[in-house]
Structure 1
Amino acid sequence: EIRTEAIARPLEINETEKVMRVAIKDILEQVQKTKDMLSNVASDETSLEAKIEKRKLELERNRKRLQTLQSVRPAFMDEYEKIEEELQKQYSCYLEKFRNLTYLEQQLDDQHRMEQERFEEAENTLRLMQNKLKEEEKRLLKSGNNDDSDIEIHEDEGSDSDMEDRQLMKQHTAMEMLMQGTCTYTPGGRSIADERDPRG
């Protein structure tokens, strides 16, 4: 019913014209804006094309310059190659000397270790010899005392000094025999006693 009344109401010409003018004005403004944007796009496109062309020219100049530099041999290149070759020789020499030094140090360590082992072995052998000599000396002293007792019981001749001389002679003879029987020699011709000092 309201709709029917609105349709049946007579239109006002002035109001309608006013609304139409406003709508036309808005459309014209939008059209102008679109034209301006198209104009700006064309201007930007021209500017970008000019910049691209400029960059292409710069790139071409730089490429030609690079080719020129690559084709020209620097003045110091000969000296550089000579120094580089000499450096390579010095480095090879250094490596060889370093390997030799490492090898010699290893040999020296092995030699010191072997000398230390021989020294300790000689010390042990000498200690055993000393113990044997002490035991033999005790045995000879004990045997000498027994002999002196027998001599005093069975024979009453000779002075105390003669008995001491005989006892010392026996001890000396026994020690010589023990030394001859236990003293060994190294393949170099030196005795164990000589091996005590690694510097000998």
Structure 2
Amino acid sequence: MFALVLAYLQMILFKALYFIRNHDKNLICNSVAFKDHPEATINLESPECGLSGGILRDHHTCLDEDGQGKLPELRWNLPPTGQVAEFVLIVEDPDVPIPFMVFTHGLFFGIPATCLAAYNEDVEKNCNVDGRVTYAGWHFVPNLLGSAYVGAAAPYGHGFHRYVFTIVALSEPLQFVKPDKVTVGIMKAALVDKVLAWGQWVGHFKRPLPR
């Protein structure tokens, strides 16, 4: 009962904040590193969810049994031109009810050029090794919750949020003296003059009230 009352209170609050959204200019694809590549030329898709703009499945969201949500399966192709050194994968929510803010659900780098798919197991933190490394051997930047990845969790009453999955092909590998100290801001700066091509897939999620 208490959870339901709390959910309704949140719904009232976030309905009032409904029009605070669409912070697209702060998405990574709109950063200075992409100025010479304004259009996506990589086809990124999610076989589980269908075409871009579709609805995320419950297990990709806070409705999952663990409350965290899993990464949807992603597949992409090589860019039409250029030699790929490595890939970067980032998942962002530009519709959070905080002015100018984009919430980064996951940011992964050091993805091999031979890799053309991502699964949830790939983005889970590998607790058997030191540092910010996933089971696939990718490096990650922790989100605000301190985890490698967290699924969609739009607030009650704030309507549908967009979850923007972006794959970035780099012309040369990223070099960080301290990979475990990388932030989103450091990553955006490091991508300058290295972006070869990129692709994007968008999933939607609206949180239902608890029963």
TM-score band by shorter chain is under 0.3
TM-score, normalised to structure 1, is 0.19
Q: Which has the higher contact order (CA 8 A, sep 6+)?
A: 2
Q: Counting strand residues as a fraction of each chain, which structure ranks higher?
A: 2
Look at both structures and tell me which one has the larger radius of gyration over its CA atoms: 1
Q: Counting helix residues as a fraction of each chain, which structure ranks higher?
A: 1
